[in-house]
Amino acid sequence: MNSASPEAEAYASRLSSLFASPSPKVARCLASHPWVQPTVARRFAWFHKWTQELLRDGMISSNRTVDILQAMFSNRSQTGFKGLATVQYNGTTPHAQLWWHRGSHSMEAFATTLLSAMASYADELEPLLGGRPLHLFWTLYDGPVIKQWRERMHGYRLPFFSMSEHGLNETGSGWAEIAVPDFTFQGYQKLRSARTRWYDVLGMLVRGAGSVPWERRERKLTWRGRVRGSQAREALVPYFQAARANATRVPLDVKPTEGRVGRPNFLNLSAQCQSKYLLHLDGNGYSAGLKYKLACGSLVIKADSALDEFYYPGLRAGVHYLRLKPEHRGKLRWAFEARMLPRLNQLFNDTESAEGSARASRIAAAGQRFAAEQLTEPGISCYWYVVLRHYALLLSADSTDNSLASVPLRGVQYRLRTNYEGGKPSLY
CATH topology of domain 189-374: Rossmann fold (3.40.50)
Residue (of 314, 295, 311) closest to 384 by Cα position: 311
Output the tens digit of pLDDT for each of the chain's 428 residues.
Answer: 456 789 899 999 999 999 999 999 999 999 999 999 999 999 999 889 988 988 888 877 544 455 555 555 555 545 556 777 888 888 888 888 777 665 566 778 888 899 999 999 999 999 988 778 888 888 777 777 776 666 666 566 788 898 888 875 545 556 778 999 998 898 776 766 667 889 999 999 999 888 899 999 999 999 998 888 787 788 888 888 888 878 889 999 999 986 555 577 888 889 999 999 999 998 877 888 999 999 999 999 998 888 889 999 999 999 999 999 876 555 567 678 888 889 999 999 999 888 899 999 999 999 999 999 999 999 999 999 999 999 999 888 876 545 444 433 433 333 444 444 444 443 33
For residues 36-74, b (16+ Cβ closer than 10 Å) or e, as one string? bbebbebbbbbbbebbbebbbeeebeeebbbbbbbeebb
Query: Rounded CA gap, 282 and 165, in Å?
Result: 13
Please tell me the pTM assigned to this model: 0.89
Strand 424-427 relative to strand 414-421, pairing:
antiparallel
Query: Rounded CA gap, 137 and 159, in Å?
Result: 8
Among positive and negative, which fits the CA dihedral 5, 6, 10, 13?
positive
DSSP letter, residue 4: P
Strand 165-166 relative to strand 307-308, pairing:
antiparallel
Domain boundaries, given as residue ranges, for the chain? 19-185+377-427, 189-374
Helix (H, G, I), strand (E, B) or coil at 190: helix
Residue (of 39, 47, 7) closest to 392 by Cα position: 47
Residue (of 364, 374, 207) closest to 293 by Cα position: 364
Q: Where are the alpha helices (DSSP H) in 181-277?
A: 198-211, 231-242, 269-272
- Sorted by sequence, the CB contacts under 8 Å of residue 184 that are 6+ apart come out as 109, 198, 288
In single-letter form, the type of residue at position 197 comes to R
